[in-house]
Structure 1
């Protein structure tokens, strides 16, 4: 027969195995806890304290003098100091312990059950107690950003919102999140808030003004500011490396948007984003649309994209453009959503919000005249918008228009300027075209060597035409070098003959001058002295 294991009770950090040890280490809070969860009766029965076990089993937790009766049954002296204990609190603590053990076997967390919150009220109680480490478990929580110096640790994917207020300086709060993906409750924000102002400036395409605010906010570790700044660098200035760096920083802080962007696991993205959308968060609208699109639920995806676009969310406008163009995430788009003319509506909206790549694509659409009638005035307008944001392809496309006089007056100098801008950004097509203009001397002084430089660079970047141009330019340089040498030699001969004639002339003039002086001196009797 297997031997029965008799577990001790824990009191004041001591393992209690006998009733004498219980009396010596008596702690009313612990004993009440063991009473409510049934472990006290089991402990007594396992040790054959049958009279005490029977008496304890007969107790009701509703009795007003429960504490005194319990102490009497266990033989604890009345001299032992006790405080008034809230039995409901004890019961809740035991419930929390039971739930906690289902989630984790980490003894450190279990030992700190009083720092674990399963709901908002428990969080408030723990904050009132001044705890500096708080575990948020499973539930939904709003974090008040008025309480400083707290580390929040997530257990089993809690839904957490930061209750933001105007001009929070996160760096000064010293509030940290571990294993927590948080969203935003922006319902308390007013137009005095700097982040609010930056997002409005984005809507007005005042990106430099927005940047100046956002740079300060990211220095203050404002998580949402990282997301908004990343949007500007990605959509407007098309600096993907910078945007990715910002997103990584934001994700490390716990921001839901950038957890999603870098594919960190969180089981409740959709639930959290729905709640944020209900609070009017336009960025959440675009992200929620993306999650539905990833699930191939384009009805809901388009619904939330439309909602975001109505609030001037650039990512939502971008998504709708690609969705209706049938170019969304390499997905097979249902036919009812393929509407390229409708896509132009969102292309225009995305352009107005600073989306440089879509601005260039809009230019191409009007330039080619396949979806709409060809309209070079519109094409040039969109190319120029995209160029103003530094879009590489737009620089190349507009350069071609100036080179060919397509929609604008032909201007080789302007073409060279724009091709060079695109070429310096690494676009092989522009590198080759710049080489051609240098080779021909169109809009720039002819320079075979510089043309060769750009042809070689374009060829190294995979441009096949440039590879042929490299060979032709090298042949031309060799030929020019040979002609130059013959010309130089002929020139040297001419210069030599001219120099000889000049020296002979100078010699004759000098002899004549000496003869004239000598005659004058003889006339004056100068030589008679000798």
Structure 2
């Protein structure tokens, strides 16, 4: 075997086999050992693989700084995986100070080598204007390149462009098609987006049961938007038998991940006693969490609680404060309440 004979490339590829479980039982410790042997000889694939072990804490204690150093060595030798990983370090601020411009630089190097994940990440940077001027046309181009290689995240990004008409003529049908491709690969964000297509009847005939199916897939992966939307289906009885207790269960999972919509909705369940014993104090607790994140419905609901003295001491000044914040965001009911003061 080339690896046992000291061949650096062979050692790096053997590390890949153990890391990803390709042709061998997945074993991060062995992957770390073989990547180390390869990297010690200066092999860029071994360096990027060893960096991955340190980054993910696989076979060794997690160490972002060491991962960054190894990715840098690999990337500077033109290794596409090292370049992408180095871009991710700069993008996330792991092992180095966050620097979107540097992230774009390294994503571009890898993307130009045809690396699908880098093309998707570069599309994200162009879409959101991180490290580069916001440019939906550029985002569409990079998402397209990634999506056509079968990258699920790129396919979802391309679906977003078609849904909102960013960088391309709006097409709900095209959005639905790309969301479907990504969702079928298990992409949780795309599963939510596909569920919304079925729920709202955009790009496809409305079918609540199919929406529930896709929301459930996303929710079971821990996606907070999927959990919140699935809860809403149980709350309203759309596509599933109405079940307030199940709604509370899914709202809770989403709310505990910080979703302001779910926090507000969970607050309403506690306020009304839907699926849980009525508890205005708990309702106020959840409304506060959502309101502080800028959720206008929660700000309105919190204002009402202070106005009525439900779950919190009656306080007109505090009520007015929260109602005004909601009204400033265009919440018409909040404006109507303010007119009563």
Question: Which consecutive unaligned segments of at least 5 residues does structure 2 have?
Answer: 1-5, 37-46, 57-61, 76-81, 91-100, 314-341
Instruction: Give, in angstroms, the shift of residue 374 of structure 1.
Output: 0.9
In the other structure, the counterpart of 1:167 is 14
* Contact residue 214 and residue 229 of structure 1 kept, 8 A: no
Of 462, 479, 485, 2:294 maps to 462
Q: Distance in 1 between matches of 2:198 and 2:30?
A: 40
TM-score normalized with structure 2 length: 0.61
Instruction: Report whether the alignment pairs 1:146 with 2:4.
Output: no
- Indicate conservation of the 8 Å contact 1:250/1:258, yes or no: no
- Whether 2:246 is the aligned partner of 1:414: answer yes
Query: SS of the counterpart of 1:410?
Result: coil
Contact 2:50 2:67 in 1 (8 A): no
| SS of the residue 2:231 aligns to | helix
**Contact 1:423/1:434, CA 8 A, preserved across alignment:** yes
- Counterpart of 2:181 in structure 1 is 349
Q: Corresponding residue for 2:162?
A: 324
- Structure 1 residues 246, 334: closer, same or farther in 2, change over 3 A? farther
| 1:258 counterpart (65, 85, 89) | 85
Q: Partners in 2 of 1:266 and 1:400 — Cα distance?
A: 38
User: Quick check: which one's strand share is greater?
Assistant: 1
Q: Structure 1 CA distance, aligned partners of 2:260 and 2:156? A: 26
Question: How far is 1:351 from its partner?
Answer: 1.6
- What is the CA distance between 1:271 and its match in structure 2? 7.1
CA distance 1:446–1:301, shift in 2 (3 Å): closer
Flag the 1:164–1:318 CA change in 2: closer, same or farther, 3 A: farther
Who wins on radius of gyration, i.e. which is larger?
1
Counterpart of 2:167? 333
Distance 1:302 1:435, change over 3 A: closer
Distance in 2 separating the partners of 1:358 and 1:271 = 27
Contact kept? 2:107, 2:118, Cα under 8 Å: no
1:167 counterpart SS class:
helix
TM-score computed with the length of structure 1 as normaliser: 0.41
**CA apart distance, 1:213:** 5.7
Q: Deviations over 1:75-131 (max 9, x none)?
A: xxxxxxxxxxxxxxxxxxxxxxxxxxxxxxxxxxxxxxxxxxxxxxxxxxxxxxxxx
Distance 1:355 1:439, change over 3 A: same
Kept in 2: contact 1:459–1:466 (CA 8 A): yes
Q: Does 2:146 align with 1:305?
A: yes
Contact 2:179 2:190 in 1 (8 A): yes
Q: Determine if contact 2:179/2:194 at 8 Å carries over to the other structure.
A: yes
Q: Deviations 1:248-300 (Å, cap 9, x if unpaired)? A: 577445311133443438989767655x54xxx65466578889998956897
Aligned twin of 1:71? none
Count of matched residue pairs: 265
Q: What is the alpha-carbon distance in structure 2 between the residues aligned to residue 287 and residue 316 of structure 1?
A: 8
Residue 394 of structure 1 pairs with residue 223 of structure 2: no
| 1:366/1:376 contact within 8 Å kept | yes
Aligned counterpart, 2:264: 432
Q: Do the aligned residues in 2 keep the contact of 1:289 with 1:304 (CA within 8 Å)?
A: no
**Do the aligned partners of residues 398 and 284 (structure 1) sit closer, same or farther apart at CA in structure 2, a change above 3 Å counting?**
closer
Larger helix proportion, structure 1 or 2? 2
Pick from 260, 264, 282 the counterpart of residue 450 of structure 1: 282
After TM superposition, give the deviation of residue 466 of structure 1 in Å: 2.5
CA contact (8 A) 2:144 2:155 kept: no
Seen in structure 2, the aligned counterparts of structure 1 residues 366 and 299 have a Cα distance that, compared at 3 Å, is closer
Match of 2:212 in 1: 380
Cα distance, 1:471–1:421 mapped onto 2, change above 3 Å = same
| Paired residues of 1:383 and 1:397 also in contact (CA < 8 A) | yes
Q: Which runs of 5+ in 1 are unaligned?
A: 1-144, 148-161, 169-188, 201-208, 232-241, 480-530
RMSD after superposition:
4.6
Alignment map for 1:35-434 (pairs within 5 Å):
146=7, 165-168=12-15, 193-197=17-21, 223-224=48-49, 251-253=71-73, 254=75, 255-261=82-88, 262=90, 263-264=101-102, 276-277=113-114, 283=117, 301=142, 304-309=145-150, 313-326=151-164, 333-335=167-169, 338-434=170-266
Shift of 1:163: 7.6
